[in-house]
Amino acid sequence: MAKTCRQHKINEALYYRWRDKILESIKLALLNGVVKIALRKRQ
C-alpha cells in the first residue's frame, strides 16, 4: 500500500483513516439495511 500512496501523493496514515471510515460506514449501512428488512418482515 505504501507504494500506491506514494504514487498518488497520499499520506499512508490518511489512507488508513479513510479506509477505516469507509469500512465503518459500510458496516453501519449494512446493519441499517438488515434492521429495515427485519422490521418489514415483522409487519
Name every residue whose Cβ is closer than 8 Å to that of residue 5 and which is 6 or more positions away in sequence: 11, 12, 15
Is the Cβ–Cβ distance between 14 and 20 less than 8 Å? no
pLDDT tens-place string over residues 1-43: 999 999 999 999 999 999 999 999 988 888 888 777 777 776 6
Which pLDDT score is estimated for 35? Answer: 74
pTM confidence score: 0.71
CA distance 27 to 21: 10
Domain positions in the chain are: 2-42
Which pLDDT score is estimated for 43? Answer: 63
